[in-house]
Structure 1
Amino acid sequence: MTHLHTETYGHGKSIVMIHGWGMHTGIWRPFAKALARQYRVTCIDLPGHGRSGRISAFDLEHLGSALVAAVGDEPACWLGWSLGATVALDIASRFPERAEALILLAGNPRFIRTHDAANNPDHWPGVSPRVLDVFSGQLSEDAQQTLLRFLALQVHGLADTKALLKTLKAAVFECDPPDNTALRQGLKILKEADLRPALAAFDRPFAAILGGRDTLVPHAVGAHLQRLQPNLQLHLLEKAGHVPFLTHQEELIRLICGFMESR
């Protein structure tokens, strides 16, 4: 059985955190430790990332089963960031007995944009599929440089961009680069997965936290999420980008604590 690396901090209500594409637990360890002053926080490295081993198929079906098996049996609030939000939503849909609540952080159940015309009734805000195609094409040439470009995109347009990028680089390259197949398949998940039906059907406490300056998950998706799931607790950090746990830690913790206690 594949070993998945986990780190657990604190005591109390359980929160399981899943990182984004190309990352690992180190990216938000300081944030997790701060959140653990009030909760029991478990961070997990996706297969082929950080200190976790690889799995036979890096797809939602196998990821969900592997992650659920890697953490305790007690129900938890699953908190997913970016790609991790897609994985967390899939887990909440397929393993409802293990997910008593769900938080999507800078996540989108349909990551790519559909229909360019914003006034089109079928329009869904997201990133251009061309962006993911470019990253996928660059992976075979230089995986590390591709990750660096992705990091730069996450902090583009924010205050203190250089300092944030330096922090991101130090955290990400604490470990060896992720498995190339896992990276490629992670992009495939982002490009192809459509978990909007799962979001609409989820009947447990549910929150989405978006950044007003996010270049990957546009905050306009919030209104669409709310229409799909009227019970959703929607929050916008207006000056945050794609990494609010680095730029707006205190505000983010307040939102998460408010959600956890409102349950």
Structure 2
Amino acid sequence: MSYIHAETFGQGPPLVMIHGWAMHSGVWRDFARRLALHYRVICVDLPGHGRSEALEAFKLENIAETVLAAIPQRRFFLLGWSLGATVAMAMTSRAPERVERLFVLAGNPLFVQTGDWPGVKAETLDAFAELLQTDVQQTLLRFLALQVNGLAHGKTLLQSLRWALLECPPPAAEVLRAGLDVLKNTDLRAFMRENPVSTSMILGEKDTLIPVGCGAAVQGLNPEVKLQILSSAGHAPFLSHPQQLVSAVTGVS
């Protein structure tokens, strides 16, 4: 079993948090300390990211199984961001009895736009995959910039993401490509339709990767999903709107 690194903050009910594409658990640190007033926050590095060992094959079923096996708590709250939200949904699908509540943060059960489903354009992911072949660093910087595009204080937020990214060496190019493949080829709408676990979907009003219309689309699959829209937030609200996000996760204003 591959080693999975985690950072833990606070005491209380366990809340496992899973970061997005190309990142690592350090991106959560300041936000995790806020949540640590309410939960025992466990920030996990995905396989091949941060300080976690890589998998032989970075595929969604392998990732979900590996992360589940690395969490000692029998039952926990689960929050995933972006690619981490895809992983969190897959973990919940595999082991719903272990998840107290699922938080889908800036995530989408079908990440890529189709004729009847809102999402990111496939060409956007293809462009990142193509650039990865020649310049990993430039690919990552472009992806970070896309997350804060059009936001107030966007330059400051971008700098925060850059500093977080540089704390650890970037994942290997093949891991990054495999992560894009997961986003491009995964469809978890059937899971979301039948999902037995209490679920909150938290979206940023100005997210350029996850259209706010995803919320209504998911509620169309499962009206039991609680939808929360963070006004003026983009793809990384834990940086731009941390207190509003804490309220969305805890229910405490």
TM-score range, shorter-chain basis? over 0.9
Q: Return the alpha-carbon distance in structure 1 between the equivalents of residues 211 and 38 of structure 2.
A: 30
Q: 1:214 aligns with which of 190, 207, 217?
A: 207
Q: What is aligned with 1:250?
A: 243
Q: What is aligned with 1:170?
A: 163
Paired AA for residue 210 in structure 1:
L
SS at match of 1:42: strand
- Deviation string 1:202-251 (CA, Å, 9 cap, x unpaired) is 11211000011000000011111111111111000120000000000001
SS at match of 1:239: coil
Task: Give the alignment of 1:21-170 within 5 angstroms.
Answer: 21-115=21-115, 123-170=116-163
The alignment of Structure 1 onto Structure 2 pairs a total of residues equal to: 252
Residue 97 of structure 1, CA deviation: 2.0
SS at match of 1:48: coil
Q: What is aligned with 1:232?
A: 225
SS at match of 2:96: coil
SS at match of 1:151: helix
Report which stretch shifted further, 215-224 or 96-105: 96-105
Q: What is aligned with 2:197?
A: 204
SS at match of 2:251: helix
| Contact preservation (8 Å) 2:105, 2:201 | yes
Q: Return the alpha-carbon distance in structure 2 between the equivalents of residues 39 and 147 of structure 1.
A: 31
SS at match of 1:126: coil
Identity of paired residues, percent?
A: 51
SS at match of 1:97: helix
Paired AA for residue 63 in structure 2:
L
Residue 70 of structure 1, CA deviation: 1.0
Q: Return the alpha-carbon distance in structure 2 between the equivalents of residues 10 and 202 of structure 1.
A: 29
Q: Return the alpha-carbon distance in structure 2 between the equivalents of residues 66 and 204 of structure 1.
A: 21
- Gaps in structure 2 of 5+ consecutive residues: none
Residue 73 of structure 1, CA deviation: 3.3
| Contact preservation (8 Å) 2:4, 2:51 | yes
Residue 45 of structure 1, CA deviation: 0.5
Residue 28 of structure 1, CA deviation: 1.3
Paired AA for residue 190 in structure 1:
L
Q: Return the alpha-carbon distance in structure 2 between the equivalents of residues 229 and 91 of structure 1.
A: 18
Paired AA for residue 49 in structure 1:
H
SS at match of 1:28: helix
Residue 42 of structure 1, CA deviation: 0.3
TM-score (structure 2 length as normaliser) = 0.98
Q: Return the alpha-carbon distance in structure 2 between the equivalents of residues 152 and 129 of structure 1.
A: 18
Task: Name segments (4+ residues, structure 1) moved above 3 Å.
Answer: none
- Deviation string 1:110-131 (CA, Å, 9 cap, x unpaired) is 000001xxxxxxx100000000
Residue 71 of structure 1, CA deviation: 1.1
SS at match of 1:207: strand
Q: Return the alpha-carbon distance in structure 1 between the equivalents of residues 173 and 77 of structure 2.
A: 30
Paired AA for residue 208 in structure 2:
T
Paired AA for residue 18 in structure 1:
I
